[in-house]
Structure 1
């Protein structure tokens, strides 16, 4: 009685088990399948009873299964029996699915049967694939968000840098404005006062018909007007450079003729017994540069040489065309540039401390340097108080812009 009840209970457990349970004989033929196993594979019981278990397997296990079973029976070497592993099953409709298989060997009524316990992993695998896909999407989202944040951070850094540059530029412009106001109030006052005094004296000397004195003060007025004109030209040049509207226009011209005409023009404004000596070296005389920019550079350098040299001195102006370069230099025998001032020489509104009452805006050399840079050239100087100052401009002949047409 107890045995019968136990048998009924065991049968009920097998019939209601969630996992599939299959038994096969020693030749691999199906003897029983519980409802869960039938449901998992999509068959009715009568369709499978007596058929080889391989019908529930996809390739390559389908053709290899009988060999596995025979190998175990001959050698006792276990592949699945007594172990559990993940395999794939083949449903009636041809679809495949993953399941965990555990196989046990049972001695029953003088024969061996094998029982397989099947746990369908489809939902777990779907969940796993969903989680994997979700993880990948999440990683992509995090990566994109990270890129977005990095981009935003980069833009913020760039905005900060631009703001700092703008702030520094504003500070620089404010310093330049202060220097300009200070310089302009001084540099304009001197020639204007001179012009005003000369005009008063001319009026006085006209009453006495003193022509010599009238001419003398007319010359002073002309000189003062020239100074004011020079200051205004410097401001105009600086404004154009700051606006970025200055660009070189190259043409081929005779540097000897150009320099001789410039020397003759500058000689008219020299001090007493100051002489400008010009000489040229090299067999060539044509250069390919911007005449206007070069003229402004050399006029500024020659004006400085005249201004900072004493009377009865020589100013040497030379040009040279060699294999690689055009080289132009202006050398004076003036007061020189103190060593401690040389590092700031090309800064706008900068003037060396030994210039004293000699008029000047402090813009000339800054403009010269920027004009030279526009023509892809270089500017160099050497100076000391005993031998004066020499400025040298050099331009590469091989420069694309300087290739003769």
Structure 2
């Protein structure tokens, strides 16, 4: 820099800074008259002819002299920043530049000293630094997972909560590839796609990713990500912020299971309601037919009885009385079936246990059926290995065997016999009732125990459709089981197993 090249007056007009020119010994040659308030920091008034050391604070004299010596020796500008206590002890910052000036012979006759007030900039810088520290502290102490990655996917930020949740400290993952360190292998490709979406869209929100913790466990994190930009607006990395939602996801799954269970229960209730409605309709249909027929017969017989009574025909009266008695008995049996089923559904039937002589019970059931059936069928028995007694409910047992034998006879019209077999095996009384009648179609077997249900092949045969429902309920009350085998046109076999001691 040449002295004759410098238009000092122009410089002094353009700047409000304090401008001082010294010789190589540090003596002030002149200074700016339009200097700023920084001049008040001088130890004594600034004037030509005095040494620079004489105007600076005593504690800075040695430093100023060293700087001048260094500028003269190095022959290059030197810049420094200093802090003073200004008015009211407020911080005051100065930027001081020492610039050597050479003449045409490359001698150094002068030094330009420019003193600039940089207090506003320094205060702004300190605020920025303070804000940055606060932001870093907020990130570090935040109750959220916060992860920083560079554009290659290497970890650059890892706050305390992330360390707590994953078990990995910041030192363990810093400068490590995030995907290789903490992601399951199956999710690494999708995570790379997530970063690509951030690059293309600038951000993504509420993405579920699975992380592998240090102890080998797995957590589900709901994460949002944004791109991080440099001052030149180029992407330099990614910021990922998320929450551990593992418990929430488990709770959601539990809720889904409960909702599914509740839905299933509601559907079952709806099916049950439909079944009840269908059952009611079947009952009305059956009852209207089964009760109307004997009632109509009774009414006709009573009219005839009245007529015969006038004619005094005793034998005819006795015959009609027998017919009336038969129809009344049939209606009573129908009503008994309905009442028994209703009690069973309401849970009002409680087994009454007693000691039962098995063979006597089986024989009594056989004889009763033969009497009621007017011997249209033979009941062939085969009782083997029969234990003398069992502890059970005699009334329920009679109901089971009577209903099965009645059905066997009723649904094998024109046949000569039904089979009634019994055996004691492994602590159970096993009783089988077989017929050679119309049989049951395969597609109807699963519903034969439903109440008021009549098989497609049995619509012309009288009955309430409650017999097998009553049998099944009675078997269940005695902790037993019942199975059925049937072939249409060949016959049906029911097998009941009842514990000898309940």
Task: Report the TM-score when normalising by structure 2.
Answer: 0.51
Q: 1:218 to 1:10 in 2, by over 3 A?
A: same
- Count of paired positions: 298
Deviates more, 1:206-215 or 1:254-263: 206-215
Cα distance in 2 for residues equivalent to 1:340 and 1:148? 43
Q: 1:162 to 1:308 in 2, by over 3 A?
A: closer
Q: Find the counterpart in structure 2 of residue 337 from structure 1.
A: 440
Higher RCO structure, 1 or 2 (CA under 8 Å, sep 6+): 1
Give yes or no for the alignment of 1:363 onto 2:452.
no
Question: What is the alpha-carbon root mean square deviation over aligned residues?
Answer: 3.8
Cα distance in 2 for residues equivalent to 1:369 and 1:354? 21
2:492 is paired with a residue whose SS is strand
Alignment map for 1:49-64 (pairs within 5 Å): none
CA contact (8 A) 1:254 1:285 kept: yes
CA contact (8 A) 2:450 2:469 kept: yes
CA contact (8 A) 1:336 1:383 kept: yes
Give yes or no for the alignment of 1:233 onto 2:336.
yes
Q: Find the counterpart in structure 1 of residue 356 from structure 2.
A: 253
Q: 1:324 to 1:335 in 2, by over 3 A?
A: same
Cα distance in 2 for residues equivalent to 1:207 and 1:220? 19
Deviation at 1:356, TM superposition (A): 4.8
Between Structure 1 and Structure 2, which shows a larger proportion of helix residues? 1
Q: Find the counterpart in structure 2 of residue 282 from structure 1.
A: 385
2:373 is paired with a residue whose SS is coil
Give yes or no for the alignment of 1:224 onto 2:327.
yes
Cα distance in 2 for residues equivalent to 1:339 and 1:154? 36
Cα distance in 2 for residues equivalent to 1:283 and 1:259? 10
Deviation at 1:148, TM superposition (A): 5.2
Q: 1:167 to 1:389 in 2, by over 3 A?
A: closer
1:175 is matched with which residue: 274, 278, 285?
278
Q: 1:371 to 1:198 in 2, by over 3 A?
A: same
Between Structure 1 and Structure 2, which shows a larger proportion of strand residues? 2
1:166 is matched with which residue: 269, 274, 291?
269
CA contact (8 A) 2:382 2:420 kept: yes
Q: 1:234 to 1:152 in 2, by over 3 A?
A: same
Deviates more, 1:341-350 or 1:184-193: 341-350
Task: Report the TM-score when normalising by structure 1.
Answer: 0.62
Q: 1:180 to 1:5 in 2, by over 3 A?
A: farther
Q: Find the counterpart in structure 1 of residue 421 from structure 2.
A: 318
Q: Structure 2: which 5+ residue stretches go unaligned?
A: 1-25, 27-51, 53-62, 69-78, 86-90, 94-129, 146-160, 166-221, 223-241
Q: Find the counterpart in structure 2 of residue 200 from structure 1.
A: 303
Give yes or no for the alignment of 1:4 onto 2:64.
yes
Q: Find the counterpart in structure 1 of residue 288 from structure 2.
A: 185
Rg larger in structure: 2
Q: Deviations over 1:237-279 (max 9, x none)?
A: 2222322344444443111111122222222211345333444
Q: Find the counterpart in structure 2 of residue 302 from structure 1.
A: 405
CA contact (8 A) 2:144 2:243 kept: no
Deviation at 1:282, TM superposition (A): 0.6
Cα distance in 2 for residues equivalent to 1:169 and 1:6? 102
